[in-house]
Amino acid sequence: DAMVIQNPRYQVTQFGKPVTLSCSQTLNHNVMYWYQQKSSQAPKLLFHYYDKDFNNEADTPDNFQSRRPNTSFCFLDIRSPGLGDAAMYLCATSRDRGANVLTFGAGSRLTVL
C-alpha cells in the first residue's frame, strides 16, 4: 500500500511551459519535503513544509514554488521550466521535525523539450 503517492510518474513539458507535480500522503505526517535529483546525483532539498509553515532552501531558484493546501497534499510548481530543470522530483514525508526518518514517494521524472 503506497503511503506517499506522486503524480504523474512521468511528465514531459516544453521549455517555458509551467508544470505542476503533486504529492499525497496517507501517513498524516506533519512534514513534507520536495527534493530534486538529477541523473547520478544525490537528492537535493528544494523546500519543506512543517504543517503550513513553508521553509525554502537558500539556493532554491524562484522558478520553483510549492503549495500545501492541507495535511495530505503538497504541490511543486515549476513556473518556467528550463532544460536544466529536467530531473527526478522526489516527495518525502516525516512524522515530525524530530522524527528523522524520511518516507519517499516513487518520484516524478520531468523531461523538458
Partner 1 sequence: AQSVTQLDSQVPVFEEAPVELRCNYSSSVSVYLFWYVQYPNQGLQLLLKYLSGSTLVKGINGFEAEFNKSQTSFHLRKPSVHISDTAEYFCAVSDLRNYGQNFVFGPGTRLSVLP
The three-class DSSP label of residue 30 is: coil
Among 24, 25, 66, 94, binds partner 1 (CB under 8 A): 94
> Which cell numbers in the block locate residue 109?
521524472
Residue 19 · residue 11 · CB < 8 Å: yes
- For residue 21, CA distances in Å to 1, 15, 98, 99, 101 come to 21, 16, 27, 25, 23
The three-class DSSP label of residue 75 is: strand
Count of residues engaged in binding partner 1, rule: CB under 8 A? 30
Nearer to partner 1, 27 or 88 (CB): 88
> Which cell numbers in the block locate residue 93?
514525508
Does position 110 interact with partner 1 (CB under 8 A)? The reply is no
Nearer to partner 1, 3 or 18 (CB): 3
Interaction pattern, residues 45-64, with partner 1; x per rule: CB under 8 A: x--x-x----x---------
Does position 4 interact with partner 1 (CB under 8 A)? The reply is yes
Q: How far apart are CA 29 and CA 15, in angstroms?
A: 34
Among 41, 67, 82, 111, binds partner 1 (CB under 8 A): 41
State the residues that interact with partner 1 by CB under 8 A: 4, 6, 9, 31, 33, 40-43, 45, 48, 50, 55, 88, 90, 92, 94, 96-107, 109
